[in-house]
């Protein structure tokens, strides 16, 4: 009887060992960011602590593209205006500036019916030393339309409006509208970047 009891104990120990060894591996694949250390700090970006304007989101290390998203909020393009935003604490990855507008993305190219395509938008970014990082001034018809086909919104960008932050530096974004357009749909200003598939 003792021998049978020992066999059962040995079998139980082996079963539990296999469960914790292989079971944890299976469970691990469902964890969205297994490199996130305690208190939410990512080991790949240990100093990540965004403190600037807007709403900053980290979608986790498994994001192939667009891991980090900074939403600076609504921008009213229906009237002339100048708006400024402070960026501080961004990770050192390539970011692209987008105008997210409430207009469906066409199947290809630009939409055929968009009444605000001649509207000129100027966006610029300077670092904390006053050095200009990028400056773009172009009508929306020259911007590239991107996003998901069939979605109710589109993300517009230009090749000039992109940068890679430097650790420890803050930045100032300025968006100028010399003349608004009443036909312009709702719009938001975003900076999006990062992801293991992304290349700076």
Q: pLDDT digits over 137-177, tens only?
A: 999 989 999 988 878 899 999 999 999 999 889 999 999 99
Q: Which residue has the higher pLDDT, 29 or 58?
A: 58
pLDDT score, position 50: 94
17 domain-assigned: no
pLDDT score, position 17: 56
Say which CATH number the domain at 142 has.
2.60.120
pTM exceeds 0.85 for this model: no
31 domain-assigned: no
Helix residue ranges, H only, the chain: 2-18, 24-28
126 domain-assigned: yes
199 domain-assigned: no
10 domain-assigned: no
pLDDT score, position 28: 41
189 domain-assigned: yes
The domain tally of the chain equals 1
3 domain-assigned: no
Q: Span 41-45, mean pLDDT? A: 69
The average confidence (pLDDT) of the chain is: 82
State which residues form the domain around 140.
50-193
118 domain-assigned: yes
Query: C-alpha distances in angstroms, 28 versus 18, 23, 196?
Result: 15, 8, 19
């Amino acid at each position: 009887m003792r021998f049978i009891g020992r066999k059962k104990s040995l079998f139980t120990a082996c079963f539990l060992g296999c469960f914790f060894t292989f079971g944890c591996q299976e469970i691990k694949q469902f964890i969205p960011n297994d490199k996130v250390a305690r208190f939410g700090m990512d080991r790949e970006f240990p100093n990540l602590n965004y403190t600037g304007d807007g709403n900053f989101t980290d979608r986790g290390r498994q994001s192939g593209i667009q891991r980090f998203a900074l939403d600076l909020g609504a921008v009213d393009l229906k009237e002339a205006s100048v708006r400024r935003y402070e960026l501080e604490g961004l990770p050192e990855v390539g970011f692209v500036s987008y105008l997210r507008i409430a207009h469906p993305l066409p199947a290809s190219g630009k939409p055929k019916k968009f009444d605000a395509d001649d509207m000129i938008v100027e966006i610029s970014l300077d670092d904390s030393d006053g050095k200009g990082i990028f400056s773009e001034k172009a009508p929306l018809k020259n911007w590239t339309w991107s996003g998901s086909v069939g979605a109710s919104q589109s993300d517009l960008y230009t090749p000039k409006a992109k940068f890679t932050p430097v650790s420890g530096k803050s930045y100032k974004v300025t968006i100028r509208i010399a003349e608004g357009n009443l036909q312009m749909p709702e719009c938001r200003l975003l900076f999006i970047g990062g992801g293991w598939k992304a290349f700076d």
